[in-house]
Structure 1
């Protein structure tokens, strides 16, 4: 299956990003990756993957959740400004070449190596799998390596907690290239966000759909307001005149991430530390900033959601483009390992 070359974008450095369609995207996604994707689409040939197959590694049996969120995630992408004329938005399961690459790469990785991956170990702990780990979940770093290498992505935006995934991908690349005696696959470089992991509004963990401590990009104004009011601050800042602590204060963490006026944030921090600045004033500043950010995203999303059929058609066409690229890489891999049987 090959498309005419007129469908293929001009050569630029390739970047691959994506999300699991398990719920609405939130402010953590925005500051961690979405804002960068809008910028990167002018600098790179950008593939943005809706990773439905990966989502099934811990949602097997909850098929509707994954299926229904594919379009919802695509709506979030478009609403924040990812341009389908500049980026290729694809559905992972619509590119079956990725699954074949995953099977081939599984032969290059031991179970012990997968179990040592610190990101996988932490996610296993969070989900309470203990030793009852789905094989697909344990091996999803291999599937990620297939995703990255299929598009020969040289750059992959990740959070610091995902750096072991890039390391494991590059191990697979080097081992495969050594096995065939030439550089067929390319190593990837992690691209870290300016802002680190965004905590949840409870201050106890990272912002997460599953933990219920996130502010969705599609959240209506009243939900945003309520979430800001509930945000964790300094528990010892009981009165306005009390000196307050900025470190570990979720409101200030969010202001650092979303308020572009650094001088304003510095002034608020100084006044808060000195005493005399109430939590309500700081929260009002944050709410105003978040409402200004999210209102146009909500409006654009509402407009786009009126024609979900058009979203699906766009994803279908883009997935075909992505499949063509992945098929070319798979063809190279099959040829180098001797699976190009000309007599068949």
Structure 2
């Protein structure tokens, strides 16, 4: 395993789905064998769009589910450090120091922020959401992450991190590595309803933890070619969610090619195409379910992984913050004040 570090993670808003898998988890599973890997449970980022007491009360449970999903997908617990973002206050300290190295117009050019605000039903963008990329920079740089696997949505965020790292190093000396983006092969997955990307909030997702019957039900209800009213009508494969899923999850390329040819020729019905997809998805998810069952059979194990990982990460972040403050000269300012105060106290305490 390389000594280089990878930082990745998710907001604890519920169970992970196939969109997460193709967007980032598949990359994480592959890369965590090569890099020292930190997995952030980004509950502070969650607060930018979901900050009710009810949302916050669900963090522990959602964190447990999220980590279990990641482990079930193939990440080995002894090669990953999971940590809870809000349990490390030093991350907030670093965020405060870094936010002065980027301008408001630069953040306003990050395309996904307006989309996130709109999806959350916000009429106006919260201050914290505008600063989301800066806090993300603090997350990456606090553990000196060198590799960040991302989907298309987060690429612009990590580019802000790269700019902040270069700006800090230019002003105060070489402290941070400039992280490298590693893009996933399939950046997004369309939802089962065909309306945009797969999303928990839209109810158009297939969860990694769904049982076979649930997967079958969701697949049979998937959106297909709206112009195809009968099986003998030639259909469109391009942009058809069912075939998009076949392309990603069905390893039987000969079957996929045959179904596409018959679909275009009007010689196969949607039901047969969907039945084949349900079989393929359940074959893909079977080993994920088996791994999940093994971890769920050990109550408290995931909590232990999160707790131990958070303690380890906090120590790492503390060291980074000390280095950052020293490089900026902040420790020098307080040291000067402290020394003069100590001399004054001695003078006052000295006998006349």
Q: How does the TM-score come out when normalised to structure 1?
A: 0.91
Please point out which of 67, 70, 89 is paired with 1:77.
Answer: 70
Aligned equivalent of 1:145: 137
Aligned equivalent of 1:103: 96
Does the CA contact (< 8 Å) of 2:237 and 2:243 recur in 1?
yes
**CA distance in structure 1 between the aligned counterparts of 2:80 and 2:60, rounded to whole angstroms:** 22
Whether 1:156 and 2:145 are equivalent positions in the alignment is no
Name which of structure 1's ranges 290-299 and 138-147 shifts more when overlaid on structure 2: 290-299
**CA distance in structure 2 between the aligned counterparts of 1:298 and 1:256, rounded to whole angstroms:** 22
Name which of structure 1's ranges 299-308 and 242-251 shifts more when overlaid on structure 2: 299-308
**CA distance in structure 1 between the aligned counterparts of 2:322 and 2:226, rounded to whole angstroms:** 59
The 3-state SS of whatever aligns with 2:67 is helix
Aligned equivalent of 1:183: 174
Distance 1:28 1:112, change over 3 A: same
Aligned equivalent of 2:20: 29
Whether 1:321 and 2:308 are equivalent positions in the alignment is no
**CA distance in structure 1 between the aligned counterparts of 2:29 and 2:110, rounded to whole angstroms:** 30
The 3-state SS of whatever aligns with 1:46 is strand
Does the CA contact (< 8 Å) of 1:71 and 1:308 recur in 2?
no
Please point out which of 110, 118, 123 is paired with 2:111.
Answer: 118
Please point out which of 164, 167, 178 is paired with 1:172.
Answer: 164
Question: In terms of Rg, which structure is larger?
Answer: 2
**CA distance in structure 1 between the aligned counterparts of 2:32 and 2:156, rounded to whole angstroms:** 25
| Unaligned residue ranges in structure 1 (runs of 5+) | 1-9
**CA distance in structure 1 between the aligned counterparts of 2:193 and 2:77, rounded to whole angstroms:** 35
Does the CA contact (< 8 Å) of 2:12 and 2:46 recur in 1?
yes
Distance 1:157 1:137, change over 3 A: same
Name which of structure 1's ranges 184-193 and 222-231 shifts more when overlaid on structure 2: 184-193
Aligned equivalent of 2:200: 209
The 3-state SS of whatever aligns with 1:252 is helix
**CA distance in structure 2 between the aligned counterparts of 1:186 and 1:339, rounded to whole angstroms:** 21
Measured after TM superposition, the shift of residue 11 of structure 1 is 5.3
Measured after TM superposition, the shift of residue 169 of structure 1 is 1.0
Aligned alpha-carbon RMSD (Å): 1.7
Please point out which of 16, 38, 42 is paired with 1:51.
Answer: 42
Measured after TM superposition, the shift of residue 159 of structure 1 is 1.3
Aligned equivalent of 2:242: 251
Measured after TM superposition, the shift of residue 45 of structure 1 is 1.2
Measured after TM superposition, the shift of residue 14 of structure 1 is 1.5
**CA distance in structure 1 between the aligned counterparts of 2:330 and 2:60, rounded to whole angstroms:** 33
**CA distance in structure 2 between the aligned counterparts of 1:256 and 1:13, rounded to whole angstroms:** 33
Runs of 4+ off more than 3 Å: 341-344
Q: Map 1:120-139; keep pairs closer than 5 Å.
A: 120-131=113-124, 133-139=125-131
| Unaligned residue ranges in structure 2 (runs of 5+) | 340-352
The 3-state SS of whatever aligns with 2:101 is coil
Measured after TM superposition, the shift of residue 100 of structure 1 is 1.0
Aligned equivalent of 1:7: none
Does the CA contact (< 8 Å) of 1:52 and 1:67 recur in 2?
no
Does the CA contact (< 8 Å) of 2:2 and 2:34 recur in 1?
no
Aligned residues: 333
**CA distance in structure 1 between the aligned counterparts of 2:217 and 2:149, rounded to whole angstroms:** 31
Measured after TM superposition, the shift of residue 186 of structure 1 is 1.7
The 3-state SS of whatever aligns with 2:195 is coil
**CA distance in structure 2 between the aligned counterparts of 1:69 and 1:279, rounded to whole angstroms:** 35
